Structure 1
Amino acid sequence: MTRRLRRRAARDGPAAHPHPHPHPLDWTALPDDATLHLFARLGYRDRAALAATCRAWRALAASPCLWAALHLRRLDPAAAATLAPRCAPHLRSLRLAGRAAAEAAPFLRAAGLRSLRLSGCRDLTDAALAVLAARHGGLAELHIGPDPLDRISSDALRSVALCCPRLRCLRLSGLREVTADALADLARHCPLLHDLAFIDCLVLDEPALAGLTSLRFLSVAGCQNIKWATASASWAQLPSLTALDVSRTDVSPGAVSRLISHSTTLRLICALNCASLEEEEAHSPAAFANSRGKLVLTINRTISKYIAADAAPLCPDTAVKDTVVFDECRSSSGKRNGVSQLITWLEWILSQSLLRIPESNPHGMNQFWLDQGAALLLTLLKSSQEDVQERAATTLATFAVIDDENTNVDPARSEAVMLEGGIPMLLDLARCSRESLQSEAAKAIANLSVNPKVAKAVADQGGIAILTNMAKSVNRLVAEEAAGGLWNLSVGEEHKVAIAAAGGVKALVDLIFRWPAGTGVLVRTILKKIHLTCCTDSVCNGCAVFVVAVVIRNVLLVHLQILLRMTNVAWRLQRLVASMPWLRLLAPAKLKGS
């Protein structure tokens, strides 16, 4: 109750002005478990803001379970130093984006860090990576990608091997060269290393990989200049190798056959978008059908069907269906039989390969996307791995686009996502608490909504309200992607009134003033959105008045701030002249008379 209402109630009596909330909710009376559950669904900014409200919530916000994992898109040394007292003792998993964030990570002082994932680190240097490895010697997982690491050499790889002896999983993208010395150091100092991935590597020493006897999962997707005769002979000798990824390489059918014949432990070979194997299967469809119990995944095969056929004997008490094969293999039966770890690795591999394929846009992939590509991406959206979900959403946003400049999408591909039930899944992800996943889901919704049928499905399932709420986000990337979704939905005449009724126009106008610096293109785009959204007669007048009112309000605020600053300066100058009379000789005439 405000002060004015309290005064009226005291004057007229409580019956005349009842309390607007007769039974106000005391949030501090919630059980600690419920409060922690709510805090866990918030970002670290909102969590820190709530922690400043009262002592009880401050104590709960410092709970170790809330700071065990952290995902930051922007991090500088000052912000890292501020977060350090809260998260340093408890932080175990950290995801960062950008070179600046990677260089600021040591300021978090998270000595107990176990998992580190970096993205957008194209300019990461050997020195920065060496510092990260030295400060976090207990790392068990290190992922850097998918952007190429052009400035990382084998020297940094050797530093990682020396500083992180507990390393179990190492995945790097775009290295210039991986030498035999670096691989020897990994084999010598990292005896627990069982998952190794060198994605899009230019030069790789194939025989040296045979020294990593602890390897179970190996990926060389996109690597060039591999001597496959040597590689197949040496890798077949790895005593624990379970799965191999050779997608987007020039692997020969003979090399795959040698791996199948000579390796006793190999169970899965993933070879997506390999031209030689696809040509071999085109001439001989049963080329790899009899693979001695080993599964070979190619573009020409229905991947989920073959995985289900391979997983059936491993999960005898579970009916494995090809439509839900990933879910079934993650079940308790799959965990008991060792299938869950293999499926987790396969999800990561598929998300990487499916993300790269639309970028190169190879010929003849349209039927793959229609038959199984869209369904595979939606399956990956349900993964328990956050980075897999984000890459799947990113691929859904790009694989249907056939013309970036004119924003044209393939109607068949976008409708395939809709028919497979992808719209509700994307809307659910757009409402999650992870801002990075929110932005990717909003981008996918925006691109797919170029198709009028998909736009109608998005609007019918509450997408307008969801995008409007996202446009109010404090995260600029999330807000811009949501604005793009509202832009595409506003093309339909029947959606314009709904956007205005949901507060979409106000959210778009507020974006102009939320980030005024360096957003000329953004301002023009949003104004176009507002114009198209408000062109319906029933909402045009109200929206126009609102826009004008907001503009006038902000202009007046700017002028008021300038006047206050000028008044403050003049007042300080007068005080200075009054305290030092000799300055009156130098002061202007107006100040002399004051």
Structure 2
Amino acid sequence: MHITQLNRECLLCLFSFLDKDSRKSLSRTCSQLRDVFEDPTLWPLLHFRSLTELKKDNFRLGPALRSLSICWHSSRVQVCSIEDWLKSAFQRSICSQHESLVNDFLLQVCNRCPNLASVTLSGCGHVTDDCLARLLLSCPRLRALRLENCARVTNRTLAAVAAHGRALQTLHVDFCRNVSAAGLLRLRAACPSLTLSAEHSAAMIPDQPPLARGCAASVFPAAPGGQCLPHATSSCGGRARD
């Protein structure tokens, strides 16, 4: 029996066991398999291990997408996390090759994937508050947003969660140094049922532009009583967990 004699349901099942590159290769063999590759129901889950994968043509974005993760574990992440005004010309040239990739990709997700339920971004040092706010607006069914080591994420993302994350049940902002204790406390007050993880974020040294270093206390105020939030994961409205 030839593979093209299988019905569409069987072909979709077969494709589901393949990685993105294998799906793309198989789709090049005939128009019938190309149609299966293009079927939105084949793509409920997308995982990317590097930013270069975002530029490939081996996947499809569509309304069936429920879970998206971009986890970049590379030495270049450290360069992305350096404050812009401290980067050397060489470091800026490195970042220029990929600094817009995640934001541009997420804008496509906003336009094509309204049913997205879970997003994980790790090591995405250039993702911005504005992009995340638009994601929250465009994906009203988003239940989990996990951010780790995203240096550009600030209290503005927390405010966007409070304003637009109506379905959000879980928020992680781990190792996001520009999230402050005061911002986390405001989010807790606004969203008492939200499960919140902010491991090390509020205790890290935030970015301070040279002209703002003298007024850092007013830009990143401490929690009431001068106490920072615990480093470990905590549940919004509850006590910190070890």
TM class by shorter-chain length? 0.5 to 0.7
CA distance 1:63–1:166, shift in 2 (3 Å):
same
The match for 1:29 is 5
The match for 1:113 is 116
Q: CA deviation at 1:100?
A: 4.5
* Unmatched segments (≥5 aa) in structure 1: 1-24, 208-217, 223-230, 247-594
CA–CA distance in structure 2, aligned partners of residues 105 and 34 of structure 1: 31
**Kept after mapping to 1: 8 A contact 2:202/2:231:** no
The match for 1:167 is 168
The match for 2:216 is none
CA–CA distance in structure 1, aligned partners of residues 35 and 166 of structure 2: 35
**Kept after mapping to 2: 8 A contact 1:116/1:143:** yes
Q: Residues 306-317 of structure 1 correspond to what in structure 2 (within 5 A)? A: none
CA–CA distance in structure 2, aligned partners of residues 245 and 37 of structure 1: 41
Look up the SS of the partner of 1:132 in the other structure. helix
**Kept after mapping to 2: 8 A contact 1:161/1:186:** no
The match for 1:102 is 102
Kindly indicate which of the two structures has a greater share of residues assigned to helix. 1
TM-score normalised by length of structure 1: 0.28
The match for 1:56 is 32
Q: Give 2:202's aligned amino acid.
A: L
**Kept after mapping to 2: 8 A contact 1:144/1:172:** yes
Q: Residue by residue, what CA displacement relative to the aligned partner does 1:364-405 show, whole Å, maximum 9, x if unpaired?
A: xxxxxxxxxxxxxxxxxxxxxxxxxxxxxxxxxxxxxxxxxx
Q: Give 1:70's aligned amino acid.
A: L
The match for 1:125 is 128
Q: Residues 249-268 of structure 1 correspond to what in structure 2 (within 5 A)? A: none
Look up the SS of the partner of 2:198 in the other structure. strand
The match for 2:218 is none
Identity %: 28
Q: Which of 71, 78, 90 pairs up with 2:47?
A: 71
Q: CA deviation at 1:131?
A: 3.6
Q: Give 1:140's aligned amino acid.
A: R
CA distance 1:171–1:60, shift in 2 (3 Å):
same
CA distance 1:27–1:119, shift in 2 (3 Å):
same
1:198 is the counterpart of 2:194: no
**Kept after mapping to 1: 8 A contact 2:67/2:119:** yes
Max Rg structure = 1
CA–CA distance in structure 1, aligned partners of residues 32 and 224 of structure 2: 58
TM-score normalised by length of structure 2: 0.62
**Kept after mapping to 2: 8 A contact 1:154/1:179:** no
Q: Which of 199, 209, 232 pairs up with 1:221?
A: 232
Q: CA deviation at 1:120?
A: 1.4
Q: Residue by residue, what CA displacement relative to the aligned partner does 1:167-197 show, whole Å, maximum 9, x if unpaired?
A: 1011111233434355334543x4652x211
Q: Give 2:32's aligned amino acid.
A: A
Q: Residues 9-24 of structure 1 correspond to what in structure 2 (within 5 A)? A: none
> How many aligned residue pairs are there?
190
1:138 is the counterpart of 2:141: yes
CA distance 1:91–1:63, shift in 2 (3 Å):
same
CA–CA distance in structure 1, aligned partners of residues 16 and 157 of structure 2: 35
**Kept after mapping to 2: 8 A contact 1:106/1:135:** no
* Unmatched segments (≥5 aa) in structure 2: 73-98, 204-221
**Kept after mapping to 1: 8 A contact 2:158/2:184:** yes
CA–CA distance in structure 2, aligned partners of residues 126 and 61 of structure 1: 33
The match for 1:87 is 61
CA–CA distance in structure 2, aligned partners of residues 192 and 87 of structure 1: 31
Q: CA deviation at 1:92?
A: 1.0
> Larger relative contact order (C-alpha < 8 A, sep ≥ 6)?
2
CA distance 1:155–1:87, shift in 2 (3 Å):
closer
CA–CA distance in structure 1, aligned partners of residues 182 and 100 of structure 2: 31
The match for 2:241 is 245
